[in-house]
Chains A and B, each alone.
Chain A
Amino acid sequence: MVPDTQPLDLQPLDRRVRTLWWVVGALSVVPPTVAAAIFGALAPIGIGRDVLVAAVAVGGLVLAAVVPVIRYRRWGYMLRDRDFVIRKGVIWVTVSIIPYARLQFVDTRQGPLDRLFGLSQLVVHTASLGMSGRLPGLDADVAEDLRERLAAVETDVVTV
């Protein structure tokens, strides 16, 4: 992987995003748990309903606790003089480099949970359908500053 062999000094995301991911993860355990309860009630299976519900809930919570930690460690970004590096992924690890000169537009987005944590997402688009970089969990001010810096790069050099 690049960061191991290249002196790419990647910056981590804001710590608060990990908390946000924990919250989202914990919330997303609820629907499968409810589904397990309903399934256990309607279709009696060998093991007891309570066991099933507990297994789903505990398994989900463990995942919800562990995945954000790994994800947070993997996430990193760096603004180099001519391009922008993003590393992400839990199982599939991807390191992308997007030259500023190829950016079509840069956006910041804030969902309700982001606002709650004072975070903001930065979204960059190139002319490639497959490449739209997204940086979740930046401090709202940092995101705004980044957006301005990226937008200030010459806008009309892009060729397709």
Chain B
Amino acid sequence: MSSPSESPGRHTTSHPETPPVPGETFQQVPPPPAATGRAFTQVPAPPPGALAAVSQRLHPAALGVWALGGVRPLVLLIIAGSFNVYIALAFVALAAVGSVARWMRFTWRLEPDALVIDQGVVQRQRRVIPLERIQSVEVVRKLGHRMFGVLELRVESIGSGGTEGQLDALDPALARQLRRQLLRKGTEPPATADHRAPAAEPPALVRMRPGQLVLAGITGGRVGVFAALVGFASQVWGERIGDAVDWLAGYVGTADNGGVVTVALILGGGAILVAFVLSVIATTLTFWNFTLTRDDRNLYTSRGLLDQRSGTIPLHRVQSVRIEENAVRRMLGLAAVKVEVAGQPGGGSVQETATVLPLGRRRTAAELVGTILDRDDVAEVPLEPMPTGARDRRLVRAAVATVALTAGAVWWLGVPGSAALLLAVPLSALAVAAYRSLGHAAPEGLLLARSGVMVRTTHVTRERSLQAVAVTSTPFQRRRGLATLVLHIARSLGGGGDPEIIDVSTDHADAELLRLARASDETARRPSTPQGPTVRAARPEDGPAVEALVEASRPAAVRPLGPEADEALSLVVDDGGDVVGHALLVPLPGDATGGKVRVLRRVVVHPDRRRQGLGTMLVKASLSAAAQQGVHRVVASGAPAFYRSLGFDPVEDHRMTAPNDPSGPWLVRLLPGDDGSAADSLPSTVASD
């Protein structure tokens, strides 16, 4: 959720109109039709017709995209030489039927508070992704999409390892419109914001040139990966390589040792060269034309040569930013920057999706971190070293490793093996380097933690991103009065672990543990609208105001309350002393569940204050209040789309039967305390306003 309080200056620069989406560099896509674009630009809400809450299918080109994907196994069959016309035809027919069925059964719609996807040919599946849980959206344009002139949209939300919502083929204009709508929630400027003209497209923060990508490929960690692959390949195709070696040996001549060394050098050099070339190619394909831009709400990345991707990450969803410098890059004064966002799909691609600077000068990297976190002091903060005990620990480790290796070498080679003692020199140097790379700092509201010798990583984490804090220590750390502070943040699978401040003194760790736990608690509680309306329990003196509100809201539909109203919990939305919203939580009439079920009645918002999220605030506060009283389930009727977005399901889904009541479908929200024992039919006397 957004915390406007953190950057009050931002509201004035917010523009209600659709911001230009920088970072869109798909040159071949025709611009969206002017009419659609304008209608959308001028009327941000309600959403334009194309995105009204009606179910839509994917673009028919999805069939083509899927077909292209399905061709691959066929191609493999042909390559394998076992190509049979009939099998191939059967395969194609089956795939075609399957794709059409899949397309027919796949629909999506954008509701006011959620993206709803229905899919599944045999087993129907409905996925509701509340907009407030969306962490980032990516538009993907693979070769297949380019062929058919469509885009793929991926929606990442918290709470899963994989992509939560994937729309395989959409009209480009629609895809972009949808992306903006999806990310609108929680980032909208408050109604009182200064409505200014949209700013011009901001300049790119990062733009990678081909030369820089080559450098990134040469100095990147992929070289190691590809070197391993080349080694593996040389094992698999050893015979052919053997022939090549023979030929090479014949050419160079292996009469003397020099010849053998030359052959070995050529082979080794060749393998390394291949690894470098592959790394450069992979880096170039992935990060081709990489650009990063930000406006006042979002970060936009765009990259890729064959598969083009453009990602949108709301700035307030960035949990942590890290600067990575591997040993080679550090010597050249270069670094890469990645952001941590929750809910990205796991696997290798998460590293690429999270990259906001593939390669740049160290200074540029530090400044970029500051830009992303809206802080101008990040690049300047000096890091504090750790207690010297941390260095001693690492030196002891180096000594133990040297002794162990020497013992092994002596056992293996006899007395000459004792030369392994010389390893003490590089290992101690490494130990000291590892100690020097440790560092930490805590400028107001931020935590900086640096560690790592082969890849030195500096994590910059906001205190408000902390989900939990821990102090952990090994016996060796305890002996030296050291501990590791673990910063638990919401992050993606496969993006590395939680940031850690390694080997701080136990006193510091203990003090920070308590301080950060408090900070984590307070930032979670901070209301997202500090001066805005708040929900509180109604007081006796609110009576007339509540009555007036109910009258003004729904004069015709208000029904008198039964005797259960005596036990009702009454909540009001208080905006600077004015009661502008009201909700009642009443027991079931003739309750047979022992108070486990309550009815939400009279959720009313003043007519002038609708569509500002007050209804949502009221319902959420009612649910919290009910949970606190040990209620298991809350039922409500009417406005099904609204209630569904707040986690309500049809009562039938939870073994309850609805009364025969004209006020609309009944929905139920299970609270954390629900154990299934409250399932029951609702008495027919229950009714809602």
Interface residues of A (CB under 8 A from B): 1-2, 5-6, 82-83, 89, 91-102, 105-106, 126-131, 133, 147-148, 151-160
Contacts and interface: CB of A to CB of B under 8 A. Distances in A.
Contact of A154 (B3, B469, B514, B624): B624
B623 interface: yes
Given A92-B472, A128-B488, 14 more contacts: A82-B521, A95-B470, A97-B469, A99-B524, A126-B468, A126-B490, A127-B490, A128-B467, A128-B498, A129-B493, A131-B468, A151-B673, A152-B628, A153-B628
A83 B520 CA distance: 10
A92 B478 CA distance: 10
Given A2-B510, A83-B517, A159 B473 contact: no
Contacts of A106: 672
A95 B524 contact: no
B474 interface: yes
Nearest to B474: A92
Given A94-B471, A152-B630, A128 B491 contact: yes
7 contacts: A96-B469, A97-B513, A98-B467, A98-B468, A101-B521, A102-B520, A156-B623
Interface string B449-481: 000000000000000101111111111001000
A95 B484 CA distance: 10
A96 B629 CA distance: 28
B10 interface: no
B313 to A, nearest CB: 13
Contacts of A95: 470-472, 513
Contacts of B1: 159
A37 to B, nearest CB: 30
B342 A160 contact: yes
Interface residues of B, number: 55
Contacts of B492: 129
Contacts of B517: 83, 97, 99
B489 A128 contact: yes
Given A5-B507, A151-B673, A160-B342, A102 B468 contact: yes
Contact of A151 (B489, B621, B671): B671
B497 interface: yes
B525 interface: yes
Contact of B513 (A2, A82, A148, A156): A2
A91 B475 contact: yes
Nearest to A127: B490
Across the A-B interface, the 8 shortest Cβ-Cβ residue pairs: A151-B672, A99-B521, A101-B524, A97-B517, A131-B488, A127-B490, A128-B467, A96-B470
Contacts of B629: 152
B611 interface: no
A127 to B, nearest CB: 4
Contacts of B474: 91-92
A152 B673 contact: yes
B630 A100 contact: no
Q: Name which of A97, A102, A160 has the most chain B CB atoms within 10 A of its CB.
A: A160
A127 B514 contact: no
